[in-house]
Amino acid sequence: MYKITYSAYVSASLVNKLRAPRNVPVVKEWEIRITVGTDELDENGGGKHFDSFLEEFRNEIAHMNNYYLNALEYFEDKNPSLENIAKWIFDTAKEAVAKKGWDLKILNVYIKNDENYWVEYSENI
């Protein structure tokens, strides 16, 4: 399997329901990495659909910038913890790949909060 990892920086606001009893939104900045894989190469010898996925990923991440995550339907009944955000990004990417019919597998999503704390989500560890 050929794998590629894309990285982007995001700034979004949220209310951590467990840590913000006054419901005051905080702005967080993260590095987000997503790794995808394929067994197929395109006519140029690159991973098939990698470029298309990168464009889609960049567009989706751009929508996250300066967004209030609690307003998303996914977080109506979930705390927007890094763990839940990583799973939401993973599920969203997986759904987009399936909808486009790309022969790609989402392998993991990694979110770095700071030098000492990061979260990684994958379906198969």
At a CB cut-off of 8 Å and minimum separation 6, what does 115 contact? none
Angle, vertex CA 70, rays to CA 64 and CA 71, nearest 5: 80
Q: What is the CATH number of the domain that holds 22?
A: 3.30.479.10
Give the pLDDT confidence of 56-79 residue by residue, as tens digits.
888 888 878 888 888 888 888 888
- pTM exceeding the 0.85 threshold for the entire prediction: yes
What does the pLDDT average to over 37-66? 87
Show the domain range for 30: 2-121
At 15, list the tokens. Answer: 């209310």
At a CB cut-off of 8 Å and minimum separation 6, what does 60 contact? 92, 93, 96
DSSP character for 123? S
Angle, vertex CA 84, rays to CA 82 and CA 87, nearest 5: 110
Domain count, the chain: 1
